[in-house]
Structure 1
């Protein structure tokens, strides 16, 4: 028979096991009112921050849409002015008039008679109006400017404004941009 020795072990007391298992706990189940209030406040703050983030994104998208529509209308108006040619525009030097945006077309919806008479364009819930001017910048060079402003149709608040300036050279002058800036022949 072999002799095996066993290490002596202490008897396990069930009370000791319960005490060790409950370290860090007070023997209760659930959450206290303070813990629930703190968690509610944290969730509320996170919810408010997320809501603000989403609504800020929606506002930014709406403003971008306003500016995109205004840019398109301004570019279309400038293209119509440029389409008449240098000589016709040269005869109109000194002009500073209200734009007839009702003639721009394409993006409008039916507005009231008063809006049509005021040469305004109603598009996507905005009322657009503007002015254009033709000035002589230099000999053989015209300066065309288009200024557009808009307001929200629903509340009448000013939406914004946009100005575009283009220079148009006399085609008979024979001046090239390259020669003007010292570039020479290509």
Structure 2
């Protein structure tokens, strides 16, 4: 009676893991999309806004994947609690004289541990690999965003200096013209 419940819990956990992998793949796809967008943009301000948007999406997808993994961990803990309750029930039956229960309990614990170890190792390895890739790309994009922001600041400073010099030159030209006219009049 409790055996199908454990299988249902394992199926639910597998669905959560698949959803996490799908979200991780979506994050990786968004990172690839970000790389394509970065290659296509020519204007500093436009590429800055687009890279910021895609970076935010990639970070959101990574957060979604983390939330799904957290949910899967919760399912795993609930499943473990259910197994521990089953173990307690089996121990009670063992005290009542059922010798075969001990063998079944040991096999169930070993199977549970093997499944948990394999799933945990696979989840951790794949998630760490995807997270490292996404974090590297986000770091690269952040550095590039900072560089482009600095370039925009430099261009703005140069533009302000050019405006100032243009104003000075224009004022000098007007003063020269006025002096020239005054020289002609007197």
Please say which structure displays the higher CA radius of gyration: 1
TM-score, with normalisation over the residues of structure 1? Answer: 0.34
Write 1 or 2 for the structure with the bigger share of strand: 1
Write 1 or 2 for the structure with the bigger share of helix: 2
